[in-house]
Amino acid sequence: MKETRFKQTEIGLLPEDWNVTTLSRVCKIFGRIGYRGYSTADIVTPENGAISISPTNIINGQMDYTKCTYISWHKYNESPEIKIYNGDILIVKTGSTYGKSALVKSLAQKATINPQIVVLKDINIDNVFLSYVCLTPQFLEQVESVIVGGAIPTLSQKKMGQFIIPQLCIKEQKKIASALTSIDNLLLSLDKLIEKKRLIKQGTMQELLTGKKRLLGFAGEWVEKRLGDIGVLAMCKRVFQEETSEKGDVPFYKIGTFGHQADAYISVDKYEQLKRLYRFPKKGDILISAAGTIGRTVIYDGKPAYFQDSNIIWLNHNEKQIINKFLYYIYKRVKWNTENTTIARLYNDNFNNMTIRFPMSIEEQRAITSALTSMDREIDALEGKKAKYEQIKQGMMQQLLTGKIRLI
């Protein structure tokens, strides 16, 4: 294979037989003209108008038509230049998600765009290839360089047309597009399989956690009890802001970081003191968010960590009555009765008065959790596989769209 020589360009090193061009030379860029905007009065039901595509319809570089807004036929026909068809490319130009983009595919209804989006039309290069170029770091860096800040970030259509993109022969464009489309199709098939497995698990939970379906060998009694009759609501001791730091040895989880990466820490000495003097979860206890997004759950893994008082709680109970892992799955189905103030909150009485139903047999609890855990592991494995393919895709894009790997 002939060695590829590279040259320096405005967007980095590219093969010597590639050139660069501007976005405006390979397509036309259209947006909704200001005086042709629309108001809530123009919003209609699906059968009475066309889809008005918004940034929420673009997810991870793909179109999603699950939740759509519809506008009147009058407003749709008023701007023919922004009528959307399969093969067009959409880019968000305004708002917090500026720069995200997608190739329009599988559009089965008439559609247009809302004022936050521009559409690339009359594309004179391979449109699939161009859609992948719009996802590259080199393209997004240009977006960042010209974005106008303020309360609502905005991307100028004129400046967008000046963006530099690679120019190469149509044969190589198509081969690159085909290779990347293949891995996107694989990711799409994994998404569908994961969603199918989740729905199966959801149905299984509905049957097993209500006793509607019994596992083979179990026929014992189920009981209903208040959480407050099963155990005692518990929470950690309050930690004040001045007792935390941005770096440290023991992560301190607040409601905003619960289940994610901690952004505050306490010292080992403080942690050991609090753990010794006050209530602290044991390994396996199910921690619950009691503020903000109510009912998020984390199984405490026993590693050194501390949790914000009153906002993160758990049930301190005897596992001879109900095991934690069964309780974890029960919590997944609970609809918590919350008190709505400025921030939704799960108060002590709401928690204690929540009634749950469970089998008296610990062995049946274990059998149910084992079945559900197996499903979780299968889903986790698929999600891990998807994450690996997403990494492979990113690597392929970087190599193929800069000419480091050639397909011709």
pLDDT in tens, the chain (408 residues): 568 899 999 999 999 999 999 999 999 999 998 777 888 999 999 999 999 999 999 999 999 999 999 999 999 999 999 999 999 999 999 999 999 999 999 999 999 999 999 999 999 999 999 999 999 999 999 999 999 877 889 999 999 999 999 999 999 999 999 999 999 999 999 999 999 999 999 999 999 999 999 999 999 999 999 999 999 999 999 999 999 999 989 999 999 999 999 999 999 999 999 999 999 999 999 999 999 889 999 999 999 999 999 999 999 998 999 999 999 999 999 999 876 556 678 999 999 999 999 999 999 999 999 999 999 999 999 999 999 999 999 999 999 999 999 998
User: DSSP E strands: which ranges in 128-285?
Assistant: 164-167, 222-226, 231-235, 250-253, 265-266
In the chain, where are the structural domains located? 6-168, 169-194+363-408, 221-360
Residue 359 one-letter amino acid? P
Query: Could you give the angle at the alpha carbon of 250 between the alpha carbons of 247 and 253, nearest 5°?
Result: 90
Which CATH number does 221-360 carry?
3.90.220.20
175 membership: H or E segment, kind and range: helix 170-208
How far is 143 from 161, CA to CA, in rounded Å? 11
Same fold, 6-168 and 221-360: yes
Which CATH number does 6-168 carry?
3.90.220.20
Q: Taking the model in full, what pTM does it have? A: 0.85
Nearest alpha-carbon partner for 375 in 203, 210, 144 = 203
